[in-house]
Chains A and B, each alone.
Chain A
Amino acid sequence: QESEASGLPEYIKIVEVGPRDGLQNEKVIVPTDIKIELINRLSRTGLPAIEVTSFVSSKWVPQMADHKEVMRGIERHPGVQYPVLTPNLQGFHSAIAAGATEVSVFGAASESFSKMNINCSIEESIEKFEEVAKSAKNMNIPVRGYVSCALGCPYEGNIIPAKVAEVSKRLYGVGCYEISLGDTTGVGTPGSMKRMLEAVMKEIPLSALAVHCHDTYGQALANILTAIQMGVAVVDSSVAGLGGCPYAKGATGNVATEDVIYMLNGLGINTGVNLYTVMEAGNFICTALNKKTNSKVAQASFNTGTIN
């Protein structure tokens, strides 16, 4: 009732990207069995979607070289989606062969970022994704589309909302069921988030939108709050805030799932996720990585021994 009265969504779907986006941006190469254990623990928290791995060339992303083993090794819990990244048709076929039942494609709102990241223009990348989407459609495989640099680009700086709207529309048009708008370098603020969403919402139905905020400048929760106030009901996050920022050494990256859930719980919004079990999964992976958690909720809770 609380969230209804405030105009906020009653339910928010959390898409857990720790095992893929998180680990991909961690320096230490994680053994396959640890990855599998992490995903299995996350499967028991109530999270509805867990991004498992990436079917990309191991030459480019060594962390994800074990994509087949991970895909085949994890428990598949009913009601949980296990999307994987597939940058092209080859990756897509490999993913399907390994048992994937949902895939993701990554576009960008910045030409420079597209060129530096995947060595082609935005338009060329969308053509590749269209191939993937066509094959996926034939096999009833849903495709999620990501738009990187939605609030700023490490190379171009400012990104205009109209460009984000244009790329989102293209991805939605080739068949992506959901578009995740990523603040890749975390430079966005509630101001730029609002302007960007206003432009995108003219082209894409609200129910097909998600936000993927990085906490590099500490703005993630404020940006997420802004998005959900505008009706966005899908939020990406990473357990323990795994995954630094490749563009600012030592800086943080993904927002921590624990901190997002804490906020949503406080707002009376249902997520279906058990905060304590997520913290336990976070504790597991941080111990395995020999690093401190980036989640403030986890830091505070493990030190007082209580959950507020």
Chain B
Amino acid sequence: AFPKRVKVVEVGPRDGLQNEKNVVPTPVKINLINMLSETGLQVIEATSFVSPKWVPQMADHTEVMQGINKLPGISYPVLTPNLKGFQAAVAAGAKEVSIFGAASELFTKKNINCSIEESLERFEEVMTAARAASIPVRGYVSCVLGCPYEGKISAAKVAEVSKKMYSMGCYEISLGDTIGVGTPGSMKEMLTAVMKEVPVGALAVHCHDTYGQALANILVALQMGVSVVDASVAGLGGCPYAQGASGNVATEDLVYMLNGLGIHTGVDLQKLMDTGTFICNALNRRTNSKVSQASCRL
């Protein structure tokens, strides 16, 4: 049986744009987030408080955070890789933050230049500060179904890292198939292991569609009781590990499937598609959403 309701976490403005080549002007980012706020989405990941040297696309994090309309009932989490980023985020008005761990040592080393253990120690600082400020923290685990450097990732390792982040105080753990190599088979195996350590109500899936498997993987996760799914409007965000390949699953295509399953999301698909059209025009690119492509009749 499927969950009756699914919470869709929109990561387009952060994960999506971060992996788009063209740097997007601040007013466009703000308009994107404002339009998303009108669709019924309850969670919209707004930006990342990371050094602009590493992620130029997110250099305007403070302006974006301060510029967006913050509608009541909607959460606007931001990425905070360390205490410094956390403090900047809070100063800019953030009320929820996210931290990014990984189930792969090599990925962690290449991405943030330390071991998994060291990354968790850095996060502990953020957790302590967040607790003191009553700020909820969402934890991401990358490479849950495979790593661009290590290849296969053991389900037990994913469970171990997820458990640690949950015990540290993350209210939710988003399990990311970072390079989209997962299939319903590996998704099931991974979730079975993780669900032994983290309650299913605290789990989310973040599937990439690089190999076209995202919706099938999400379907399996739903069948196992997961009720929080990350997605990116228009499927924004390519894959940095496979040039020209796609990345995030498109929110429109996800909502279309959930609607067909009779699962409540609260999201207005038409408004979502209009938002996708806006950002694709601004980026001068075609949408990655098939629902949008089919509905446009261009």
Contacts and interface: CB of A to CB of B under 8 A. Distances in A.
Interface string B266-298: 000000000000000000000001110111111
A218 B297 CA distance: 16
Interface string B236-267: 00010111111000100100110111100000
Contacts of B180: 300
B290 A190 contact: no
A104 interface: no
A262 B244 CA distance: 19
A29 interface: no
A120 interface: no
Given A263-B213, A266-B183, A216 B290 contact: yes
A270 interface: no
Interface residues of B, number: 45
Contact of B293 (A191, A252, A268): A252
Interface in A37-65: none
B290 A222 contact: no
Contacts of A221: 212-213, 215-216
Contacts of A218: 215, 250, 253, 256-257, 289-291
Contacts of B212: 221, 256, 259, 262-263, 295-297
A186 interface: yes
Nearest to A189: B260
Interface string A208-230: 00000001111101101110000
A296 B209 contact: yes
B185 interface: yes
A303 B213 contact: no
Interface in A218-272: 218-219, 221-222, 224-226, 245, 248-252, 256, 259, 262-263, 265-268
B222 to A, nearest CB: 9
A262 B210 contact: no
Contacts of B239: 300
A33 interface: no
Given A192-B260, A266-B182, A268-B185, A222 B294 contact: no
A274 interface: no
Contacts of B126: none
B35 interface: no
Given A191-B262, A219-B257, A303-B242, A248 B294 contact: yes
A217 B151 CA distance: 31
B139 interface: no
A90 interface: no
Interface residues of A, number: 40
> Which of A262, A296, A300 has the most chain B CB atoms inside 10 A of its CB?
A300
Given A266-B183, A299-B245, A250 B215 contact: no
A296 B211 contact: yes
A299 B246 contact: yes
B146 interface: yes
Contacts of B218: 222
Interface in B163-188: 179-186, 188
B6 interface: no
B296 A219 contact: no
B258 to A, nearest CB: 8
B135 interface: no
> Which of B182, B213, B220, B253 has the most chain A CB atoms inside 10 A of its CB?
B213
A220 B223 CA distance: 17
A219 B245 contact: no
A177 B183 CA distance: 31
B151 to A, nearest CB: 8
A265 B181 CA distance: 12
A262 B183 contact: yes
18 contacts: A189-B261, A216-B290, A217-B294, A218-B291, A221-B216, A248-B295, A249-B297, A249-B298, A250-B298, A251-B290, A256-B212, A262-B212, A265-B183, A296-B210, A297-B212, A300-B210, A304-B242, A308-B179
Given A188-B260, A245-B294, A256-B212, 8 more contacts: A189-B256, A189-B261, A218-B215, A218-B256, A219-B215, A221-B216, A266-B182, A299-B244
Interface of B: 146, 151, 179-186, 188, 209-213, 215-216, 218-220, 239, 241-246, 250, 253, 256-257, 259-262, 289-291, 293-298
Across the A-B interface, the 4 shortest Cβ-Cβ residue pairs: A189-B260, A266-B183, A296-B212, A218-B290
